[in-house]
Amino acid sequence: MSVSSQQPDITSCPLHEVDTFSADFLQDPHPFYRRLREEAPAFRDPKNNVVYVSTYDLAMEVLAKPRVFSNKFGAQLRAGAAGGEMSQEELAILAKGWVPKDTMLTADPPEHTRYKKLAGKAFTYRKVIGMNDYVTGIVHDLIDGFIGDGRCEFKTQFANLLPMYVICDALGFPRADRERFKEWSDAFTLQLGGVADMKTRLWCAEKIVEAQHYFVAICDEKRNNPGEDICSDLVQTDLEEEGGARKLSNEELISIIQQILVAGNETTSHTLTTGIFYLLTHPEQKARLEADPSLTENFVEETLRMLTPTNNMWRVATQDAEVGGVAVKQGDLLLLRFGSANRDDAHFPDGDRFDITRDNAKEHLAFGAGVHLCLGQQLARKEMQTAFPIVLSRLNNMQLVEAPESFSYVPSILLRGVERLDLTFDPA
């Protein structure tokens, strides 16, 4: 899908004239989100026929009806989000790998339930609670790597690495391959992001096939030499079906591992980075947090609400229905604008205001809701609740190198996060 750079005045032009897939729009979609909530909480965009759902209550209504609004949107996403088609070059590259299998994110119950149950064993509350010392050690090790410089690019030197190390250790992947994992994670998210040009999509296809072969090789190794990790568990576990139990296929293994790698990496990385950005651009909130560290958990929830790293998510209608007064036909795509719902003044008073004492911050939809509630949410929280206090205690007098208005966000329909964060500081 091509990305346009021309954008009318979002605050005054007709809603249908706004190109919500443009690079300019993705830098700051919130003026448009506010207009959607006020003028058309459910809005069919005539340019692509997608129905946007923008308020908290309507998003919850859709999430509560998984049989009507399905998560089986994998084919549409891989084809380019809102109606595109894969090129012959992409198809030729992807043919060298395995056919994508819908398991968790792009599946519905009961299939989704069975796959999520298998993957969820690695992310139980009890296991996550016991990871405090382990996560703390990684946080200190990463800071030790740059603290003597008095400056860092926080995204690449810390925020990308913490969740990557944690999820790679959990999967049983060697940390030495972290640069490859980041490339693969980027490829998966860019392919589904809806704004990549053809050159980027071909690069994504190459990297996705490369990742698939790597995952299969790791799984083959774990069958012969299992360890205490997710991949070992997955290759040995039986999937219970109506016809009996069986082992997971390579296609299923690839799908589950891919989702754990990406979901356990990108959203946490974006939230860690943007959380520091929010504190430095809201010094009164930073001072309040430093004076009362017990606010850390709520600060994490408020950061998740304000940023909403999974800013939008798709659904596809399985039957004719109605959402917010808009008729939806079977097969129509809906885009749940979580980033808008999380700033809905009707649910979060003064929703555009960053307030780490907000009493209902945890009611955000950053992790989704219902049957597709993110299985790694507790792990993400543990990483952030552990990391932020240590960062604040060790990097004194943090300052932004660039002016806040110059910051750019990742160009993606689905994900949102600051692209980089250059800091100076005084080592504690």
Q: pLDDT for 155-186, tens place per residue?
A: 999 999 999 999 999 999 999 998 899 899 88
In a domain, 61, yes or no: no
In a domain, 160, yes or no: yes
> Does residue 258 lie in a domain region?
yes
Query: Is there a domain that residue 14 lies in?
Result: no
* Domain presence at residue 39: no
Q: Assign 238 to helix, strand or coil.
A: strand
Kindly report the pTM of this predicted structure: 0.92
Pairing verdict, β 333-336 and 51-53: parallel
- Is the separation of the CB atoms in 387 and 162 below 8 Å? yes
Q: Is residue 343 part of a domain?
A: no
Residue 348 lies in a domain: no
- Reduced to 3 states (helix: H, G, I; strand: E, B; else coil), residue 347 is coil
Is there a contact between 112 and 226 (Cβ–Cβ < 8 Å)?
Answer: no
Query: Could you read off the pLDDT of 199-215 as tens digits, one per residue?
Result: 988 999 999 999 999 99
The order of strands in the sheet holding 313-317 is: 42-44, 51-53, 333-336, 313-317, 69-70
Q: What's the CATH code of the domain at 302?
A: 1.10.630.10
Residue 117 lies in a domain: yes
| β-bridge pairing 42-44 and 51-53 | antiparallel
> Mean pLDDT lowest for which of 128-137, 269-278, 382-391, 393-402?
128-137
What's the confidence (pLDDT) of residue 244? 83
Q: How many whole angstroms separate alpha carbon 172 and alpha carbon 161?
A: 16
The yes-or-no verdict on residue 5 having pLDDT over 70 is no
What is the per-residue pLDDT for 243?
79
Alpha-carbon gap, residue 111 to 246, rounded angstroms: 14
- pLDDT of 194 over the 70 cut: no
Here the tokens at position 428 are 């504690």
- pLDDT of 107 > 60? The answer is yes
Helix and strand numbers (H, E) in the chain are 19, 12
Banded pLDDT at 89 (limits 50, 70, 90):
very high
Cβ atoms of 128 and 382 within 8 Å: the answer is yes
- What is the rounded average pLDDT of the residues 246-263? 92
Q: What does the pLDDT read at residue 3?
A: 38
Give the chain's domain count. Answer: 1
Tokens of 173: 């992947």
Helix (H, G, I), strand (E, B) or coil at 333: strand
3-class DSSP state of 8: coil
Which segment of 58-72, 105-119, 282-296 scores lowest on mean pLDDT?
A: 105-119
The Cα–Cα gap between 273 and 137 comes to: 19
Parent domain of 117 = 73-307+370-427
* Alpha-helical regions (H) of 249-396: 250-263, 266-281, 283-291, 296-307, 338-341, 377-394
Residues 1, 20: Cα–Cα separation, whole Å: 12
Average pLDDT over residues 109-124: 86
Do 329 and 357 form a contact (C-beta atoms < 8 A)? no
Please give the Cα distance from 152 to 273 (Å, whole number). Answer: 12
